């Protein structure tokens, strides 16, 4: 057994044990890799493992490159515009100033600022998985900012790879970056499909080919004197493809990535020696900036954009951790020899601390919101609610919570029946279509009581929620209970047991898409199996229905809800 394999054994066994602990407490694995590195630091000093860690960086960015959803870029820019501007204009310069105060040179102050501003997709996005899947507004906002941060990080790495910051050098780096992206797109169009054809169904060869493409781009990046991160990103773009074999290959590359990325994170932790007091002070400052200042400033910018206070708060607290890309920036700087030990170690320590903290803040964010934020912004919320709502003098009306696809279909029906209704929605992006399509609407947070005042809940005959989010359902029932409302309540739930609980708590009816779909499906399957109808008929009927829906424009709800 060679030294490297002994080192890897130490690395993986330590990391594995810590991951079991992390998983037990539902914490993100990333900080625990870093902690494993801190623990095993003394054993991990082979130059080869730094090589393997470099592959970790390459695969991290490579996978990011082929996962990038270019279709989403526009909506990301729309969502993260304000937050992005805030980060670039407010947080970064402020942190840069603090860095200078610590006596760093400009470059190191910049590294410090980058670490303060960018937040982590793997950690933050991982914790938000459910919110993002359920398409809650704050989940979408946070993941947009994460995505923006990742792209920004790649650009920063590109610029920082210049040996000196003269305009010519920086421009030439950017020029190379553009060239690489163009080359990536070229391979995506012509090279990769050719590879898939030549491989003739062999997943192994497509996998090797993809890694060869990665290697080609990395080598080119080195020749051009720019960071391998840019090469890996372009290579990721080059292998985007949605054939069946490439799904297999992506899984394969992701496994390989997991292996190398684990080594990368552990190595990063291992590079930290016993920290000096100075390092601890810098790290603590960085933690404050990331956990308190950055989210606070971003929250203000979301509020300014017109999001309700809860959404703004929840979205910004999901951004309170150091990005894994900041670690990439730091280690690249270390290899270039431009970062001081203090800044490097402070960034790593702050990353580990904030990545662990973020899980805890998320567990208590509702409490923090209620006790700290809600009161502070109440006044403003009221004003905004009034400004952005339009409710005539309604009674015996229906309150519809959520203007997603279900909400739209219901509104359309009520318009046709000429029955009074009011829509409650918290996504400002939908404001235009609310104004256009709905006779009455409230743009506000369904979890806040004042929204229900605006919707005239007291006079309502029926409240229908189309949102599958337990807090919303519970609030509706609470409001009905507190105010002794006459109205019937129809809610939505994800599965039959949740639905049953809501029914017991007083809901008139609960729609469960899976149960309804299962019911319908059983009916269709029975028909097909018994020969009463055949698949072709079922199919053509459904295609017709879809066309009808499309004609009514029901597939164009702006954010995919």
Euclidean distance between CA atoms 113 and 95, whole angstroms: 5
Closer to another protein at the Cβ: 94 or 462?
462
**Which DSSP category does 276 fall into?**
P
Euclidean distance between CA atoms 321 and 355, whole angstroms: 5
Residue 388 CB, nearest distance to another protein (Å)?
21
Instruction: Count CB-CB contacts under 10 A for residue 535.
Output: 10
Instruction: Answer yes or no whether residue 216 interacts with another protein by CB under 8 A.
Output: yes
**Of 88, 215, 280, 368, which lies in the binding site for another protein, with binding defined by CB under 8 A?**
215
- Euclidean distance between the first and the last CA atom of the chain, given in angstroms as a whole number: 54
Euclidean distance between CA atoms 464 and 4, whole angstroms: 62
Query: Among 314, 318, 295, which Cα is nearest to 125's?
Result: 318
Closer to another protein at the Cβ: 52 or 282?
52
**Of 19, 73, 170, 377, which lies in the binding site for another protein, with binding defined by CB under 8 A?**
19
Q: What is the dihedral of CA 423, 428, 429, 434, to 10 degrees?
A: 30
Distance of CA 276 to the CA centre of its chain: 35
- Scanning 187-323, the segments in alpha helix (DSSP H) are 192-199, 203-224, 228-238, 244-270, 277-288, 294-305, 309-317
**Which of these segments, 94-102, 313-321, 341-349, 538-546, binds another protein (CB under 8 A)?**
538-546
Instruction: Answer yes or no whether residue 561 interacts with another protein by CB under 8 A.
Output: yes
Site for another protein in 320-349 (CB under 8 A): 335-336
Cβ contacts of 324 within 8 Å, gap of 6 or more: 30, 60, 120, 121, 122, 123, 265, 351
Instruction: Answer yes or no whether residue 510 interacts with another protein by CB under 8 A.
Output: yes
Distance of CA 287 to the CA centre of its chain: 21
Report whether 235 contacts 241 (CB < 8 A): no
Site for another protein in 261-300 (CB under 8 A): 262
DSSP-derived 3-state class of residue 469? coil
Residue 429 CB, nearest distance to another protein (Å)?
14
Site for another protein in 513-532 (CB under 8 A): 513-522, 524-526, 528-529
What binding mask, one character per residue, do residues 475-494 give for another protein by CB under 8 A, x or -? Answer: -------------x-x-x-x
Closer to another protein at the Cβ: 186 or 516?
516
What binding mask, one character per residue, do residues 192-211 give for another protein by CB under 8 A, x or -? Answer: ---x--xxx-xxxx-xxx-x
Instruction: Answer yes or no whether residue 238 interacts with another protein by CB under 8 A.
Output: no
**Which DSSP category does 532 fall into?**
S
Query: Among 176, 164, 149, 157, which Cα is nearest to 333's?
Result: 157
Where are any strands of DSSP class E within 267-417?
398-401
Residue 500 CB, nearest distance to another protein (Å)?
4
Instruction: Answer yes or no whether residue 512 interacts with another protein by CB under 8 A.
Output: yes
Residue 241 CB, nearest distance to another protein (Å)?
11
Q: Mind giving me the DSSP string for 298-361? A: HHHHHHHHT--HHHHHHHHHTT-S--HHHHHHHHHHHHHT-S-HHHHHHHHHHHHHHHHHHHHH
Closer to another protein at the Cβ: 150 or 427?
427
Distance of CA 544 to the CA centre of its chain: 36
Site for another protein in 26-85 (CB under 8 A): 29, 47-48, 51, 54-55, 58
**Of 68, 100, 134, 478, which lies in the binding site for another protein, with binding defined by CB under 8 A?**
134
**Of 100, 151, 193, 258, which lies in the binding site for another protein, with binding defined by CB under 8 A?**
258
Instruction: Answer yes or no whether residue 497 interacts with another protein by CB under 8 A.
Output: yes
* Sign of the CA dihedral running 348, 351, 356, 357: positive
**Which of these segments, 96-104, 291-299, 315-323, 542-550, binds another protein (CB under 8 A)?**
542-550
Instruction: Answer yes or no whether residue 255 interacts with another protein by CB under 8 A.
Output: yes
Bridge partners of 490? Answer: 464, 509
* Sign of the CA dihedral running 517, 522, 526, 529: positive
Instruction: Answer yes or no whether residue 551 interacts with another protein by CB under 8 A.
Output: no
**Which of these segments, 10-18, 73-81, 97-105, 291-299, binds another protein (CB under 8 A)?**
10-18
Instruction: Answer yes or no whether residue 22 interacts with another protein by CB under 8 A.
Output: yes
**Of 176, 302, 414, 452, which lies in the binding site for another protein, with binding defined by CB under 8 A?**
414
Instruction: Answer yes or no whether residue 21 interacts with another protein by CB under 8 A.
Output: no
Q: Give the count of residues interacting with another protein (CB under 8 A).
A: 128
Segment 334-338 long-range contacts (CB within 8 Å, at least 24 positions apart): 334/271, 336/161, 338/107, 338/108
Residue 50 CB, nearest distance to another protein (Å)?
9
Instruction: Answer yes or no whether residue 406 interacts with another protein by CB under 8 A.
Output: yes
**Which of these segments, 4-12, 270-278, 285-293, 452-460, binds another protein (CB under 8 A)?**
4-12
């Amino acid at each position: 057994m060679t030294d490297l394999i002994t080192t890897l054994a130490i690395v993986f066994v330590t990391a594995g044990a810590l991951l079991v602990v992390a998983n037990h407490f539902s914490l993100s694995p990333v900080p625990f890799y870093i902690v494993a590195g801190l623990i095993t630091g003394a054993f991990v000093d082979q130059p080869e493992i730094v090589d393997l860690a470099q592959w970790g960086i390459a695969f991290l960015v490579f996978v990011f490159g082929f996962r990038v959803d270019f279709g989403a870029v526009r909506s990301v820019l729309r969502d993260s515009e304000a937050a992005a501007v805030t980060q670039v204009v407010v947080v970064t310069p402020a942190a840069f100033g603090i860095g200078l105060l610590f006596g760093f040179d400009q470059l190191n102050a910049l590294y410090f600022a980058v670490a303060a501003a960018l937040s982590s997709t793997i950690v933050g996005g991982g914790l938000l998985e459910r919110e993002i899947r359920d398409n809650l507004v704050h989940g979408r906002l946070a993941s947009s900012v994460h995505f923006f941060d990742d792209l920004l990080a790649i650009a920063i790495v590109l610029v920082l790879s210049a040996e000196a910051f003269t305009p010519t050098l920086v421009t030439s780096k950017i020029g190379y970056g553009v060239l690489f992206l163009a080359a990536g797109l070229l391979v995506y169009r012509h090279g990769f499909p050719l590879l898939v054809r030549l491989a003739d169904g062999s997943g192994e060869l497509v996998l090797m080919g993809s890694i060869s493409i990665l290697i080609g781009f990395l080598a080119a990046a080195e020749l051009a004197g720019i960071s391998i991160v840019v090469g890996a990103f372009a290579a990721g773009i080059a292998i985007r493809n949605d054939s069946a074999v490439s799904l297999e290959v992506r899984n394969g590359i992701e496994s390989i990535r997991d292996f190398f990325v684990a080594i990368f994170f552990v190595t990063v932790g291992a590079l930290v020696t016993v920290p000096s007091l100075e390092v601890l002070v810098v790290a603590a400052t960085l933690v404050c900036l990331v956990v308190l200042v950055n989210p606070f400033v971003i929250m203000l910018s979301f509020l300014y954009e017109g999001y309700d206070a809860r959404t703004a708060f929840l979205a910004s607290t999901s951004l309170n951790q150091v990005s894994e890309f900041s670690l990439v920036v730091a280690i690249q700087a270390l290899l270039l020899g431009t970062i001081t030990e203090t800044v490097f170690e402070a960034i790593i320590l702050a990353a580990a601390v904030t990545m662990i903290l973020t899980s805890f803040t998320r567990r208590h964010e509702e409490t923090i919101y209620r006790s700290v934020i809600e009161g502070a912004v109440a006044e403003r919320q009221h004003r905004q609610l009034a400004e952005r709502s339009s409710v005539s003098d309604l009674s015996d009306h229906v309150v519809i919570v959520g203007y997603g696809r279900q909400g739209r279909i219901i509104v359309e029906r009520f318009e046709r029946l000429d029955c009074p209704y009011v829509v409650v929605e918290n996504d400002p992006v939908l404001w235009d279509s609310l104004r256009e399509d709905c006779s009455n609407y409230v743009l506000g947070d369904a979890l806040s009581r004042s929204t229900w005042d605006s919707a005239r809940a007291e006079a309502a005959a029926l409240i229908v929620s189309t949102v599958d989010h337990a807090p919303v359902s519970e609030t509706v029932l609470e409001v009905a209970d507190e105010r002794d409302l006459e109205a019937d309540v129809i809610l939505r739930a994800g599965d039959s047991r949740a639905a049953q609980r809501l029914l017991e708590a007083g809901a008139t009816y609960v729609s469960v898409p899976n149960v309804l779909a299962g019911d319908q499906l059983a009916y269709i399957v029975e028909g097909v199996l018994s020969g009463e109808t055949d698949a072709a008929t079922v199919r053509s009927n459904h295609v017709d229905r879809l066309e009808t829906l499309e004609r009514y424009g029901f597939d164009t709800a702006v954010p995919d809800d």
